[in-house]
Amino acid sequence: MAFAAFSSTAPSATAAPSTDPVARRRSPVALFLLLPGILYLVLFFLTPLVSLLLTSFQSPREFGDIGQFDYAFRWQNYVEVVTTYWPHIVRSFSYALAATFFALLISYPLAYFIGVKARKWPLLQSLMLVLVIAPFFISFLLRTLAWKQLFSDESFVVQSLKALSLLGPEAHVTGTAFSVIFGLTYNFIPFMTLPLYTTLERLDVRYLEAGNDLYASPFQVFRKITIPLSMPGIVAGTLLTFIPAAGDYINASRDFLGGTGTQMMGNVIEANFLVLQNYPSAAALSIILMTVILVIVSIYVKRSGTEELL
Amino acid sequence: MKLSLGKWLLPVYSGLALLFLMIPIGYTFVYSFNDSLKSNITWRGFTFDKWLNVCNVQNGAVCQAFGNSLFIGAVATVAATTLGTMIAIAIVRYRFKFRSQTSLLLFLPMATPEVVLGAGLAAQFLSLGVPKDMLTIILAHTMFCISFVVVTVKARVASLDPALEEAGRDLYGSAWQVFARITFPLLLPGILAAALLSFALSFDDFIITNFNSGAVTTFPKYIYISAARGIPAEANVLASAVFILALVVVVTVQVSGAAKARRLAKLS
């Protein structure tokens, strides 16, 4: 349901000029309003990141038990983690990239229909929106499990594919890169569709008509007018898909849609932290994941010129 | 012929895309009526039994987990909505130092993968020696909900006409009266939307919870743990019930909103 955050930033950004004439006041009330929440985020968001960073440099305690570490500056943790888990790192970002691409491909026409074509029928528009957010109302894990069962070897889908020889007799669908990317794509379609919808809904169709009048082909109109005007939605949607997809470990988990060959960074972080009690490795991987994502996000947001996202 | 094909392509495609989104939901709902034994994988016949005796399975483990999720969701929602609303009002209405740093601090939790948030908090609790239980889950959920509350409520505060509050002050309303009688009621729809969003985020969260829950089981965690050996149909019953309830709430809000808009349009 994160969409609401990103999509509602857009209207507030456009509303900002109209509220600016109301001079913002300086007042001690501001401090009273801000302090509790900001302090909370410092304590439970910022300092945890610092302890994650400190943990990532820890070294195993001499003669200590499993899971006992001392604060140190063991930067080799990072080298070890990258050399051991580089396939997982590559997989995380390539799966997330693929899922983002497919989600955009599936969501854009849908969002365009709801936001532009369905304007004439407000009831249809709201019904379709309810259906887009409907997956949020049912457990993420159960939805993913449903796909696992629909794709299991005994399932109707897989049996028919095999009967049609579209799938080899020994082939599986679950446990493959396909099923993990499929799951990620499915799960993040609403996150992609909603911000796209909010920008397309405000698209002024007169621009498209102007393009047509000037003898632009439908494709040119789409590429030169529709896409640039819906860029804020594309940026918000792709970020809302890419970030959680890169860190996800449900879809890639062996009990869900993944297999041994599809494990992502999230799976490794979970296993190292919660099972192997190898906290420094888990922390180092988390820091790598976070850094790469922050770098990608800042470049991406700067390039596409929608810094108002904040 | 070509023209009509082009005309129908997009609506048909959109319908299929929505149908695709509904498949796992339909599957979960249908299998809540499955007369299954332990695991709910093969269809064994239709029954209402699971709906009528939800809590009977595994000494009520499903219901226990479900109850935990409701409790955690409620507490985290109240905390996050309060803290987030205060920040939203301050950001729109007041000038203060470190404004850009504040918005960065509010944006970052939304741009951080859940696995990092979860591992970070778990590392902190570990180094401080805090045992993981219900409280640590609530602390974690409140943290990631705050930013979403701020963005949701901020839009509402920004669209609020300051003249209404000025009128209240002109009529000698005290600062508190103006807030309680004017500002708060006008912000209420935004605050409620933020609260619903927080509750939904908290209720369905698994990744952060998994890192900070210790022995406490929430509904998503229950599903994760049982996934290896099969989920009882009772979990489908609870999830389907939540789904129907949420759908009813959303449709009611939509319909009443549309009716209100129509009434306002008639008045003016």
Residue A89: the pLDDT is 95
Q: Residue A33: which of B42, B87, B239 has the nearest Cβ?
A: B87
Return the percentage of chain B with pLDDT > 70, whole number: 97
Among left, alpha and beta (phi > 0; psi -120 to 50; other), residue B59 is left
Where is pLDDT greater, at A23 or B33? B33
* A28 CB neighbour count, 10 Å cutoff: 8
Q: What is the DSSP string of A215-283?
A: T--HHHHIIIIIHHHTHHHHHHHHHHHHHHHHH--STTSTTTT--GGG--HHHHHHIIIIIS--HHHHH
- Radius of gyration, CA atoms only, chain A: 23
Where is pLDDT greater, at B87 or A71? B87
C-alpha A163/C-alpha A280 separation (Å) is: 49
C-alpha A197/C-alpha A203 separation (Å) is: 10
Which residues does chain A have within 8 Å of residue B23's beta carbon, measured at their own beta carbons?
Answer: 146, 150
How does pLDDT run across B105-138, given as a tens digit for each residue?
998 999 899 999 999 999 999 989 999 999 999 9
Per the CB < 8 A criterion, the answer to whether B202 and B141 are in contact is yes
Alpha-carbon distance values, B144 to A182, B96, B113, B141, B148 (Å):
27, 24, 11, 5, 8
Query: Are B106 and A41 in contact (CB < 8 Å)?
Result: yes
Indicate whether this model's pTM tops 0.90: no
Q: Residue A138: which of B10, B152, B239 has the nearest Cβ?
A: B239
Per-residue confidence in pLDDT tens, chain A, 310 aa: 344 444 434 343 334 444 444 557 788 888 899 999 999 999 999 999 999 999 999 988 887 777 788 888 888 999 999 999 999 999 999 999 999 999 999 999 999 999 999 998 888 998 999 999 999 889 899 999 999 989 988 888 888 888 887 887 778 888 899 999 999 999 999 999 999 999 999 899 999 999 989 998 889 999 999 999 999 899 989 999 999 999 999 999 988 999 888 999 999 999 999 999 999 999 999 999 999 999 988 888 887 765 555 4
Query: Are A34 and B193 in contact (CB < 8 Å)?
Result: no
Residue B59 has pLDDT above 80, yes or no: no
Which residues does chain B have within 8 Å of residue A186's beta carbon, measured at their own beta carbons?
Answer: 20-21, 24
By the 10 Å C-beta count (0-12 exposed, 13-18 middle, 19+ buried), B134 is classed as middle
Residue B230 has pLDDT above 60, yes or no: yes
Query: Are A134 and B86 in contact (CB < 8 Å)?
Result: no
Query: Are B116 and A52 in contact (CB < 8 Å)?
Result: yes
Residue B51 has pLDDT above 60, yes or no: yes
Closest CA to A22 of B21, B10, B161, B123: B161
Residue in chain A nearest B86 by alpha carbon: A33
Query: Are A246 and B41 in contact (CB < 8 Å)?
Result: no
* A105 CB neighbour count, 10 Å cutoff: 11
Q: Residue A134: which of B14, B25, B107 has the nearest Cβ?
A: B25
Residue in chain B nearest A134 by alpha carbon: B247
C-alpha A129/C-alpha B43 separation (Å) is: 32
Alpha-carbon distance values, B4 to A91, B1, B7, B9 (Å):
43, 5, 5, 8
In this prediction, residues B197-221 reach a mean pLDDT of 93
The number of C-beta contacts closer than 8 angstroms across A and B is: 292
Residue A22: the pLDDT is 52
- Radius of gyration, CA atoms only, chain B: 23
Per the CB < 8 A criterion, the answer to whether B124 and A51 are in contact is yes
Residue in chain A nearest B137 by alpha carbon: A44
Residue A308: the pLDDT is 52
Confidence band, pLDDT 50/70/90 cuts, at residue B5: low
Residue in chain A nearest B152 by alpha carbon: A5
Residue B32 has pLDDT above 70, yes or no: yes
C-alpha A237/C-alpha A42 separation (Å) is: 27
Residue A29: the pLDDT is 85
User: Domains in chain A, please, with CATH?
Assistant: 87-266 (1.10.3720.10)
Residue A37: the pLDDT is 96
Which residues does chain B have within 8 Å of residue A2's beta carbon, measured at their own beta carbons?
Answer: 110, 148, 201
Query: Are B239 and A290 in contact (CB < 8 Å)?
Result: no
Query: Are B84 and A134 in contact (CB < 8 Å)?
Result: no
C-alpha B204/C-alpha A136 separation (Å) is: 8
φ/ψ of A208, rounded to 5, equals: -65, -40
Which element (helix H / strand E) includes A20?
A: none
Residue A148: the pLDDT is 92
* Placement of tokens 């299929």 in the chain: B16
φ/ψ of B94, rounded to 5, equals: -120, 155
Exposure class string for B207-238: b at 16+ Cβ within 10 A, else e: bbbbbbbeebbbbbbbbbebbeeebbbbbbbb
Query: Are B220 and A141 in contact (CB < 8 Å)?
Result: yes
